[in-house]
Amino acid sequence: MQDAPERKWRIAPHDQQKINALQQTAGIPAIVAQLLLTRGIDQAEAAESFLHPKLSDMRDPENFPGIGPAVNRIMDAIANKQSIMIHGDYDADGITATAILYRCLKLLGGDVRYFIPNRLGDGYGLKADRLAQFAADGIALVITVDCGIASAEEAEVAQQLGLDLIVTDHHAPGERLPDAVAILHPGLPSMPYPFAGLCGAGVAFKLAWGLCQHKSKSKRVTPQLKTFLLQAVGLAAIGTVADVVPLLDENRSLVHHGLGSLLRQPVPGLAALMNITGLSEKKRLGGEDIGFTIAPRLNAAGRLGQAPLAVELLTTDDLSRARSLADYLHELNKSRESIERSVYLAANKQAQAQLDAGSHSALVLGGTGWHKGVIGIVAGRLAEKYHCPVLVTSLDEMGVQPGVGSGRSIPGFNLVRALQACDPYLLGHGGHAAAAGFQCEADNLDRFRIAFCEYVDAQSNGATQQLDLNIDAEVPLSGLTLQTVEQMERLEPFGQGNRRPLLCSSQIEIRDPRTIGNGDKHLALRVVQNGLALRGVAFGKGYWANELQQLTDLVAVAFRPVINTFRGQRNVELHLEDWQRTATSSDAPLVTSGETFD
């Protein structure tokens, strides 16, 4: 089997003068100043805004494109007792966006319902037959959340049926925009907005905020609506982290304050879920608590065709029902992990065969009966493992339905454009630059694979940079004190666009590497330097175990330091990102800043 190519380590330049200047003007520790500089922040005012984001930093909803017509139509529907349908999506972003708007309209006295498509049967987005059902059920107004921007034809159907349509979305638009009462989208060239990075829940929060201001007849909302909005910030934070949008600008404020809201005043369902998972015992939540604990349990419902239960979890005020739903979603996530594990093993075997056959630029995989709800996760794990775009397709066991595929990319490679280039081989496609879905006839999969890989090959000049591993700084393990890591954590919340600091150290001895977790998915070990040993964990990298167990040389490791709390004890732990062989001499220097460490 061909191994994935080694990643080039590039360490950010270390400018002591700039570090000293920012440290003094901003009044922050040197390590924080250094990490801010690697993120392009070199002024005290910008540092203050980054380290202490305020909710007041968020732009007023009245400045959001389309907000006026949307608010007026919704309030008119409420006043005239017209039925409103919120059409959501089955991922954590769509689920939280639906919950935000549903709770808001209920609070404002609206006759409101919600519909979440079944990932396994309905597929993504608006469908004409579903709109016809809405009209037959007496719905007057349909509001989309996290979908709809590419549904121009479906918008025409809505008009023919007498349905008013409001679209709130953040995905890439189609060739023409839907004809709707209002379109709320942060990234349309025709309706510019200063920050295009809001997710579906972020856009829904803007609309809910605008509705609350309108109801209050003031920018300062009533106490009851203020309580709702603070809880909605927590829901929007979940959608923002889960959808892997950049934690910059308004998103940083949303997530920073949303994490606090989740601890202080969660909706009943989230309180129950955090109690089951142990998050309620934490003094402070981080973005990773959403990404690794809350979001997977919401997504599990969608992946296994039960997303409405996740919306109910976030909207019920019945404490008993909230506990039952939280228990169920917690168990459902375990089922999802088991299904994912079996699909991953089959897909990885196929990936190894393609690599052995000489395919290095991309992997296009497909299997009969692979569960459609987990193929996106599997594609993401394989893209991370092999450092290339990966598409995974679930083929119909009866051969009647087209294959349903999901893809994940590597930074800098636009998956949507690649699928557009392969449009003749597909029945449909859409999504983000980093994550996309598609449909393909089984008989066409091999031709599609060839076309997709040829496109990726043609882009190889730009794709070669994606193997770079950008490292914030080089450090000896002795420098990773509890106090130092606590200072680093001032850069929270971590996530897309603001990753937890990535450091490296060389002359490392690896001890006791062993796989852990269900299916030996993860790796635990000890990293030792000059007699100092720290625990290390490599999530999703259990496949490192065999090679590390046979290792006799010293190595260099790239890692993200965290503080692990166990039984009241707080210790520094390293989450390994990569490792490479290095010189064995005890006099060998650490990597020189700014240079490539191959």
Whether the predicted pLDDT of 167 surpasses 80: yes
Long-range residue pairs from 172-180, CB within 8 A, at least 24 positions apart, any chain: 172/416, 172/430, 172/431, 172/432, 173/149, 174/149, 174/150, 176/152, 177/149, 177/152, 178/148, 178/149, 178/151, 178/152, 178/154, 179/152, 179/155, 180/148, 180/155
Instruction: Convert the pLDDT of each residue in 239-259 to its tens digit.
Output: 999 998 999 999 999 999 999
Instruction: Convert the pLDDT of each residue in 490-518 to its tens digit.
Output: 999 999 889 999 999 999 999 999 999 87
Confidence band, pLDDT 50/70/90 cuts, at residue 364: very high
Task: Give residue limits of the domains in the chain.
Answer: 56-331, 359-458, 469-597
Predicted pLDDT of residue 172: 84
Residue 237: CB partners within 8 Å, gap ≥ 6?
254, 255, 257, 258, 259, 261, 262, 290
How is 229-295 classified by DSSP, letter by letter?
A: HHHHHHHHHHHHHHTT----HHHHHHHHHHHHHHHHS--HHHHHHHHHHTGGG-SS--HHHIIIIIH
Cis peptide upstream of residue 493 (ω within 30 degrees of 0): yes
* CB 235 within 8 Å of CB 114: no
Task: Please state, in angstroms and as integers, the Cα–Cα distance from residue 233 to each residue in 255, 313, 524, following that order.
Answer: 8, 17, 36
Task: Please state which of the four CATH numbers 1.10.3470.10, 3.40.50.970, 3.90.1640.30, 3.50.50.60 is assigned to the domain occupying 56-331.
Answer: 3.90.1640.30
Nearest to 337 by CA among 368, 292, 278, 367: 292
Whole-prediction pTM: 0.89
The stretches of 304-374 forming alpha helices (DSSP H) are 307-315, 319-356
Token pair recorded at residue 154: 């479906």
Residue 414: CB partners within 8 Å, gap ≥ 6?
433
Token pair recorded at residue 65: 């494109």
Residue 542: CB partners within 8 Å, gap ≥ 6?
515, 516, 517, 519, 520, 521, 522, 523
- In three-state secondary structure terms, 541 is coil
Task: Please state which of the four CATH numbers 2.40.50.140, 3.10.310.30, 3.40.80.10, 2.40.30.10 is assigned to the domain occupying 359-458.
Answer: 3.10.310.30
Instruction: Convert the pLDDT of each residue in 401-436 to its tens digit.
Output: 899 999 999 888 899 999 999 999 999 888 778 888
Predicted pLDDT of residue 400: 77
Predicted pLDDT of residue 596: 32
- Residue 386 burial by CB count (10 A; 0-12/13-18/19+): exposed, middle or buried? buried
CA contacts within 13 A on the Cβ side of 517: 17
Predicted pLDDT of residue 181: 98
Token pair recorded at residue 179: 């004809």
Confidence band, pLDDT 50/70/90 cuts, at residue 521: confident
- Classified by CATH at the fold level, domain 469-597 comes out as OB fold (Dihydrolipoamide Acetyltransferase, E2P) (2.40.50)
